[in-house]
Structure 1
C-alpha cells in the first residue's frame, strides 16, 4: 500500500510538505504543489480516512435516522438504507444507522457527539416533533419525506398525493366505479406518517374528481386481518371492483384471499399497488403498480447532503413524479364486477 512517505520520496519533498498539500493548511508554492500532486496521481495514493477527517475536521460519516416503528415494513425501509449507503460510498463516506425511536433528543445527542457530519432522516410525520430541532442543529440534514410545514428544510420524496390519484385515474379509465384503498396499518395513520396520509388524500380527491366511489381502510399485516377487511368491504360494497394497495406485506395474502372468495384478478377485481417493481412482477398475475423509487430517492438525499457540506445550494423540496406500469392485474370490469 502506498504511503505518504512514498509520495514524499517520489516528489523529492519532506513528508510534512505532502501533508500540507493534501490538507491545505499551509501555503505551498505552485511548483511544489504540482510536483506533489503528480506523485499522488502516479502512485495512486489515497489518503487514509482518519487523516482526511482530521485535516477537514469532518468524520466522513453520515447518520441515517430510520426509527423502526410499529406498522413499518422493514424490507422497504432497507431499500432506502441500501441506496443511502451505496451513494455515500461514492463520496467516500460511511453511514451510521440509527434505528431507535429517540425523537428530538436522539438527534441532539448525535449532533453533539461529533460522530457524524450530517443526517438523513426517514419516517417523517406531518407534524414531526423532530422538525424544530432539525432547523437548529449545527449540521446539515435531508429528510426522506416531508412534514406539513417544510420551510427551512431539505426534503425529498415520491409525490404520494399524485401516486394515489394516478391509481384512481387508471382504474376509472378502465371503467371501474367503486374503488377501495387498502392502506397501511392503523398505527401508521395514527402517527400521521406523511407518505400514507398523502396517498389517502390523493386517492380521495381523485375519486371525487372522477365521480367514483372511493372507500379507504387501513389493514394490518396478517392473513386474518386481510381476510376480515376484504370480506367486510365486499359485504358492505358488493359492487366494489377495484383495489388500490399501499401495504406491501399484504399483497400475497390479498391475492390468496381473493382466490378463496372466488374473485378472479382482474376479471372480478382489479388491483393496483404502490410498491417496488420486483414485488409487483413476481405476483400471479403480475400487478399493475406505481413503483417506489427508493434507489433514486436515497441517492438524491446523499447527493444533496454532500452538496450542503460543500456549501452548495439545494432545493428545499424535491418531489419525484409517480409512474404507473399497467400489468395483468388491472382490466375492464366484467358484468359481475359492475
Structure 2
C-alpha cells in the first residue's frame, strides 16, 4: 500500500505539504498542489478517510442532489453523476448520491447533519426553492444549471440560450422559414426547469431576429405521444419543414413517423436535435445535433467545488459554448412545404 511519505518523495515535497494538500488546512501554491495531486494519481494513493476527517474536520464527501424524475432523460443525468463521482475521487472526495425529490428538505438534511462538506445540485429550476437555504447555509455548493438569479451562486452549465439560437441559425441558413420545436415533457416546463426554458428563449429570440416562424409543442416520449404532437403541428403549421427536437425519447419516434408518412429526411423535412452524441449517431438517421456535454459539466462542477473548498474562488457562472455537428438529417428547405 502506498504511503503518504512515498507520495511526498515522488512529488519532491515534504510529507507535511502532502498532508496540507489533502486536508486543506494551509494554503498551498497551485503549482505544488498540482504536482502533489499528480503523484497521488500516478501512485494510486488512497488516504484513510477516517483519519483525514478527524485531522481536517471534514467528511471528504460531496453530496450530489440529482432528482431522478420520470420526465427527465435519466442516461444524461447518470452520465453527469458518473463524471462527478470519478472527478471527485481524483481529488480525494467520495460522493453521496441523493436521488429523491426532496427539494429544500435535502439541503437541510445535508447542512444540518454535516454529512457532506459541499453540495452539487442538478435539475435546477429558474425559481428553485432550494436556493434560499443554499445561500443561507454558507456551505460550498455548485449548481449544474442556471437559475433566474445567480447572485451569490456558482453555476456550471451548457449555454442553452446559445444552443437554441445555434439550431435555428442552422435551419435558417438552409432556407427553412417555418420551424417546429418538439420539446421536453409538459411537466418540465411547468416546473420552469432552467435548461428547457433557456433553450426556448434562445430559439424564440433568434427567430425574431431572423424573421422565422416557430411553433413550440412539448411532448411526452414514446410513439403515440410524438404522433399526436406531430399531428398537432401539421394542423397548425402545415408548411413546417424544419424541426428542432429537445427530447431524447422523441427522436426515434419522430423519424419513424416521418418515414411512415412518406416525408424524407432531409429532402422534405430537416431535423436538428439537442441530445447526447450516442442518440445522434446511433439511430436510424445520423442527426445534425448539438451535443449535451454531460461529462464536461460534471467535471467542471467538481473542479469549481474543490476550488471553493480550498479557498480558491473563480468565475461564478461558467457557460460551456455549444457546438453543432452537421450530419445527415438536415438539408436545404424544399421549394414547397411538405403539404404544398
What TM-score results when the alignment is normalised by the length of structure 1? Answer: 0.87
The verdict on how the C-alpha distance between 1:21 and 1:254 changes in structure 2, with shifts beyond 3 A counting, is: closer
The answer to whether structure 1 residue 64 and structure 2 residue 64 are counterparts is yes
The verdict on how the C-alpha distance between 1:3 and 1:177 changes in structure 2, with shifts beyond 3 A counting, is: closer
Residue in 1 that maps onto 2:9 = none
The answer to whether structure 1 residue 120 and structure 2 residue 102 are counterparts is no
Give distance in 2, aligned partners of 1:286 and 1:21.
49
Give distance in 1, aligned partners of 2:93 and 2:129.
28
Q: State the SS of the aligned residue for 2:262.
A: coil
The verdict on how the C-alpha distance between 1:231 and 1:150 changes in structure 2, with shifts beyond 3 A counting, is: same
Give distance in 2, aligned partners of 1:276 and 1:134.
30
Q: State the SS of the aligned residue for 2:72.
A: coil
Larger Cα-atom Rg: 1
Give distance in 1, aligned partners of 2:143 and 2:62.
13
Residue in 2 that maps onto 1:90 = 90
CA contact (8 A) 2:46 2:92 kept: no
Q: How far does residue 2 in structure 1 lie from its aligned partner after superposition?
A: 5.7
Residues 173-202 of structure 1: CA deviation (Å, up to 9, x unaligned): 000010011000000000000000011111
Q: How far does residue 44 in structure 1 lie from its aligned partner after superposition?
A: 8.7
CA contact (8 A) 2:62 2:95 kept: yes
Q: State the SS of the aligned residue for 1:152.
A: coil
Residue in 1 that maps onto 2:27 = none
Q: How far does residue 270 in structure 1 lie from its aligned partner after superposition?
A: 0.1
Give distance in 1, aligned partners of 2:98 and 2:273.
29
The verdict on how the C-alpha distance between 1:3 and 1:125 changes in structure 2, with shifts beyond 3 A counting, is: closer
Give distance in 2, aligned partners of 1:92 and 1:329.
44
The alignment's C-alpha RMSD in Å is 2.5
Q: How far does residue 115 in structure 1 lie from its aligned partner after superposition?
A: 1.5
| Superposition map of 1:132-151 within 5 A | 132-151=132-151
The verdict on how the C-alpha distance between 1:48 and 1:259 changes in structure 2, with shifts beyond 3 A counting, is: same
Give distance in 1, aligned partners of 2:193 and 2:211.
27
The verdict on how the C-alpha distance between 1:22 and 1:216 changes in structure 2, with shifts beyond 3 A counting, is: closer
Q: State the SS of the aligned residue for 1:88.
A: helix
Residues 79-102 of structure 1: CA deviation (Å, up to 9, x unaligned): 111111111111111111101111
Q: How far does residue 110 in structure 1 lie from its aligned partner after superposition?
A: 1.2
The verdict on how the C-alpha distance between 1:209 and 1:50 changes in structure 2, with shifts beyond 3 A counting, is: same
Q: State the SS of the aligned residue for 1:129.
A: coil
CA contact (8 A) 1:171 1:242 kept: yes
The verdict on how the C-alpha distance between 1:20 and 1:182 changes in structure 2, with shifts beyond 3 A counting, is: closer
| Superposition map of 1:44-63 within 5 A | 47-63=47-63
Give distance in 2, aligned partners of 1:21 and 1:322.
38
Q: State the SS of the aligned residue for 1:231.
A: helix
Residue in 1 that maps onto 2:284 = 284
Give distance in 2, aligned partners of 1:221 and 1:44.
43
| Superposition map of 1:171-210 within 5 A | 171-210=171-210
Q: State the SS of the aligned residue for 2:54.
A: helix
Residue in 2 that maps onto 1:153 = 153
Q: State the SS of the aligned residue for 1:120.
A: strand
Give distance in 2, aligned partners of 1:324 and 1:44.
38
Residues 112-143 of structure 1: CA deviation (Å, up to 9, x unaligned): 22121100000000011111111011410000
Give distance in 1, aligned partners of 2:196 and 2:120.
20
Q: State the SS of the aligned residue for 1:255.
A: helix
What TM-score results when the alignment is normalised by the length of structure 2? Answer: 0.87
Q: State the SS of the aligned residue for 2:319.
A: strand
Unaligned stretches of 5+ in structure 2?
7-14, 24-35
Give distance in 2, aligned partners of 1:21 and 1:286.
49
Give distance in 2, aligned partners of 1:225 and 1:278.
23
Q: How far does residue 19 in structure 1 lie from its aligned partner after superposition?
A: 9.3
Q: State the SS of the aligned residue for 1:63.
A: strand
Q: How far does residue 285 in structure 1 lie from its aligned partner after superposition?
A: 2.0
Q: How far does residue 70 in structure 1 lie from its aligned partner after superposition?
A: 4.2
Give distance in 2, aligned partners of 1:20 and 1:148.
41
Residue in 1 that maps onto 2:306 = 306
Residue in 1 that maps onto 2:317 = 317
